[in-house]
Amino acid sequence: MHRLIAKQIERARRDDGRIDIDQLIDLVSAAYAEVDRDQARSNRSILLMAEELEDLNASLEQ
């Protein structure tokens, strides 16, 4: 089992030992959103960095 889902199950465990399914779904859903955001941020950084390096190159060539 992935360590994150193991941790999410622990976080969703209630005092009586049962798992709160609604809470677990919220956690899993939020984790998917975190991964999406992380990926979007990485892609954005790569694009901007490439742009900046191109600009730098162009100004050096002039």
Structure tokens at 37: 């955001």
Options 20, 25, 39, 48; binder of another protein; rule CB under 8 A? 48
Q: State the chain's maximal CA–CA distance in angstroms.
A: 71
Check binding of 25 to another protein (CB under 8 A).
no
Neighbouring C-alpha atoms within 13 Å toward the C-beta of 28: 12
d(C-alpha 9, C-alpha 60), whole Å: 55
Number of residues that bind another protein (CB under 8 A): 23
**Which residues are near another protein by CB under 8 A?**
3-4, 7-8, 10-11, 15, 27, 30-31, 34, 37-38, 40-42, 44-45, 48-49, 52-53, 56
